[in-house]
Homo-oligomer: A and B are copies of this chain.
Amino acid sequence: MNTLARAVVVVGAGAWLAASPARAQDPLPSWNPGAARDAILKFVADTTQSGAPGFVPPAERIAVFDNDGCLWSEQPMYFQLAFALDRVKALAPSRPEWKDQEPFKSLLAGDLKGVLAQGEKGLAPILMAAHSGVTTDEFEATVTQWITTAKHPKTGRLYTEMIYQPMLEVLAHLRANGFKTFIVSGGGVEFMRPWAEKAYGIPPEQVVGSSGVVTFEMRPSGPVLIKEPKVEFVDDGPGKPVGINRFIGRRPVLAFGNSDGDHQMLQWTAAGAGRRFMGLVHHTDADREWAYDRQSHIGKLDKALDEATAKGWTVVDMKKDWKRIHPFDK
């Protein structure tokens, strides 16, 4: 082929791809046909067709996703808690006093049930110990080390393998149509950022989460940021619209969650003017993942499910709507 012909082919292909990215291939191959899949595709079509009543200018195409239970699994415990437990065990040799202090004593004796039975009082010191007393650079290195080696107790997989293939496809389809995708999670922002780009294609500056107080310190070796043992912001429940306002500064047009912790984020998204999409991942698949909702201690989905039903928000039935759950599933 000569240069001229090649140029024509390139231009032709480019124009065709630009005009119909969705038609080139199914953007949601892991979704079964049904109302949820239809609603996602229709929302993207309605908001991106210039001149259509639902059109949203590219700058306003903000899409937010919860993480735990929405982009990756959250059973039998939040994965960040698994990180914290491992971290405390790793730190224990340098903290001999923990042998006699609860909740560390129970944890180090292998009595996880004893820790969990202490509730918030048991978990808070463990989370604090695991997430403070280091620089932000040191913490990032610790998370990266853990996330690339630690295995899930049930599946034996890396935690970042336990992400939802259908949701990856939603993220990619949105981005291919000019949406900016954000995580808005109750999880720690510095826990998620080191791996979210590789796992989800979401860069650090588009991750919103809970955070601890961080302070600047000039050391002889240079400036560092120290993670202090103090909660700064809890990005959960009513904190989610607050976090969206603080970090993003624009109301999303699409929000996806899976629990009552996402309820206010969905309400905040729904209350904006124009075309909106509110979605919930409903965990209904005890065989391939987990099944839980109104009675669950983790990812409780009750009030948000009622409002979703009443308002016609999209509820994804994991068992019916998803052909595969994780990328490693056949």
Name A residues whose Cβ lies closer than 8 Å to a Cβ of B. 4, 7-8, 10-12, 59, 62, 136, 180, 189-190, 193, 197, 203-207, 211, 214-216, 218, 222-223, 225, 238-239, 241-242, 245-250, 264, 267-268, 271
Contact = CB atoms under 8 A, between A and B. Distances in A.
Given A7-B7, A7-B8, A8-B7, A215 B203 contact: no
Contacts of A215: 238, 242
A216 B189 CA distance: 21
A205 B243 CA distance: 12
Given A7-B7, A223-B271, A204 B238 contact: no
- Counted per complex, copies of this chain come to 2
Nearest to A4: B8
Nearest to A15: B7
A242 B225 contact: yes
Given A249-B207, A250-B204, A268-B223, A214 B242 contact: yes
B271 A203 contact: no
A225 B207 contact: no
Contact of A203 (B4, B59, B136, B241): B59
A307 B249 CA distance: 34
Contacts of A193: 249
A216 B238 contact: yes
Nearest to A10: B11
Nearest to A208: B247
A62 B206 CA distance: 13
Given A7-B8, A8-B8, A193-B249, 20 more contacts: A7-B11, A59-B197, A59-B203, A62-B205, A180-B205, A190-B249, A203-B250, A204-B249, A205-B205, A205-B250, A214-B246, A215-B242, A216-B238, A216-B241, A216-B268, A218-B267, A222-B267, A222-B271, A223-B267, A223-B271
Contacts of A4: 4, 8
24 contacts: A4-B8, A8-B8, A10-B11, A59-B197, A59-B203, A62-B205, A189-B246, A190-B249, A203-B250, A204-B248, A205-B247, A205-B250, A207-B249, A214-B242, A214-B245, A214-B246, A215-B238, A216-B238, A216-B241, A216-B242, A218-B267, A222-B271, A223-B264, A225-B245
